[in-house]
Amino acid sequence: MDTAQAAEAVFKTRILPVKTTNLGDFDQLTRLEKWELPRDQDIIQPLQQAAELLKKSNIPVGFPTETVYGLGADATRSDAVKGIYKAKGRPLDNPLIVHVCDLSMLRELLAPAGQTNGHSASAPNPNPNPIPQIYWPLIMKFWPGPLTILLPNPRPSKLAPEVTAGLPTFGARMPQSPLALSLIKLAGVPLAAPSANASTKPSPTTAEHVLHDLDGRIEIILDGGTCQVGVESTVVDGLCNPPIVLRPGGVSIDQLRECEGWECVVKGYKDASELGSTTPRAPGMKYKHYSPKAKVVLFEATLQPATKPATSLGAGPLSTSDGQVPHIDLELLGRPARIGIVRTRHWDKWAGFHHAPDETQDRSTTTHVTSSHDYPQNTSSQLRMGKLWQSGSRKTGSQSTEGRHLADIIEISLGSETKDIAHGLFSVLRELDQRNVDVIYVEGIEDEGDIAAAVMNRLRKAASIVED
């Protein structure tokens, strides 16, 4: 926990492990209509603790979904929702996604305040099925799952105004995680739940990530293991024509186009609100997100050669010129640089730092990496550590630079599969940040199809510099 976090620490944060099997299921006769809790109360005991906190206090709870860990609070109470903004340090004009456990809860939310199941005591139900028809093909195919739909906010609304940030619509989704669905069911209210990270930091995919960012700011983190998708949900708006994707995520635009009424869906996540001062139409559109402390340099995939030429070191401040990667001033640092490399599909080992010519010196002077050690992280990624040395000889005053230790390099390969890259992206940025690297070089991927667009969207928001 950093100094700022320590200064704000109020609570003793607990991680509660949860067994993720047999946590509940949907009523098979009505599919998605009603989430049923398990009969064994011992299984859901940690969830009951968290649900009681959500009911009685304004302190949000960290919990896993299939995408990333969320920070949940009662979406119907202003003080509870404000607790999310306080814990995250999130701007108040950034709307929140509302999570429901079943369609019955969503219908209740779409009925104006004062009505139950769409009915009031004095008037018949004006709209027995308030969920817009355009969304039904998506609901039946992708829910529960990583898809958020934009819905009209009824007047008067049951939602706290802080959820919508003044917009006439709100985003809703039904998470795939049985843990999340059971927590919402036990709380008895929809949960507003952005990602459970400090604002602008990489989204958390483990309970430990949440603890790192929010230790002392919340009381409970439910630990359901590592999230499977790794990037947030896709956000769509079907209330306009043609329908649009406001944020790429776990459901691709090609998958959406297979659904009736969505054949002409277009990309809308370069919306003007990303660049201006207006309220964003969906979470993740406006502000710089997913950023580690280190400077992130992203290389787009379009013109990428198999081996990207590496930078020379000691040639001036961290900057770019003529399409080259930034230079690192070793004299200014007063020590060897610490470099993070994230490889995906095309870069060779060490991203060209190995045997790269030093552009600022004699052309025969090259670099080489020694003391290489490989550390398998899981089935799809591998961490490699090495030391970058300067070969050749050059006089600097009375000192020789022969055999100079230029940098320590930490390289993580995420593999070539899009799902593996998405799954490991946020975790890798956090790992390199915790290793206190000075700069992170990231190899981008083609952002067409599948969740590749979501990966690149997040990386562009994380990057300080983007290179073609």
**Pairing between β-strand 367-376 and β-strand 382-390 as defined by DSSP bridges:** antiparallel
Q: What is the CATH number of the domain that holds 81?
A: 3.90.870.10
411 shares a domain with 332:
yes
Domain match, 226 and 305 both = no
Q: Which of 197, 232, 267 is the last residue of a domain?
A: 232
Residues 358 and 214 in one domain: no
Sheet containing 367-376: give its strands across: 367-376, 382-390, 404-413, 337-343, 439-443, 295-299, 465-467
In a domain, 338, yes or no: yes
Could you tell me if 319 and 196 lie in one domain?
Answer: no
In this predicted structure, what is the pLDDT of residue 365?
44
In this structure, are 141 and 212 located in the same domain?
A: yes
In sequence order, what E strands does 174-286 have? 191-192, 220-223, 234-237, 244-247, 266-267
- Confidence at residue 52, expressed as pLDDT on a 0 to 100 scale: 97
Number of domains in the chain: 2
Q: Point out which residues pair with 405 in neighbouring strands.
A: 389
What whole-number distance in Å separates Cα of residue 14 and Cα of residue 221?
Answer: 6
Judge if 201 and 64 occupy the same domain: yes
Where among 198, 232, 266 does a domain terminate? 232
Does 289 fall in a domain?
no
- Answer whether residue 273 is part of any domain: no
Q: Which domain holds residue 49?
A: 3-232
Per-residue pLDDT, 389: 80
Looking at the structure, tell me whether residues 192 and 51 fall in a common domain.
yes
pLDDT at 374: 56
Domain membership flag for residue 123: yes
Residue 316 forms part of a structural domain: yes
Residue 53 lies in a domain: yes
Q: Indicate if 218 and 309 belong to the same structural domain.
A: no
CA pair distance 256, 143, nearest whole angstrom: 13
Residues 301 and 228 in one domain: no
Q: Which amino acid does the sequence have at 312? A: S
> Do 425 and 317 reside in the same domain of the chain?
yes
Residues 145/250, Cβ–Cβ less than 8 Å: yes
The answer to whether residues 162 and 305 belong to one domain is no
Give the start-end residues of each E strand in 27-108: 35-36, 61-64, 69-74, 97-99
Identify whether residues 437 and 336 lie together within a single domain: yes
**Does residue 257 fall inside a structural domain?**
no
Q: What pLDDT does 454 receive?
A: 84
Q: Say which residues have a Cβ less than 8 Å from residue 181's Cβ, sequence separation at least 6.
A: 23, 24, 35, 101, 102, 144, 174, 175
Which of 192, 208, 232 is the C-terminal boundary of a domain?
Answer: 232
Positions in the chain whose pLDDT score sits under 70: 1-9, 93, 116-128, 270-291, 302-331, 355-381, 391-402, 448-450, 464-468
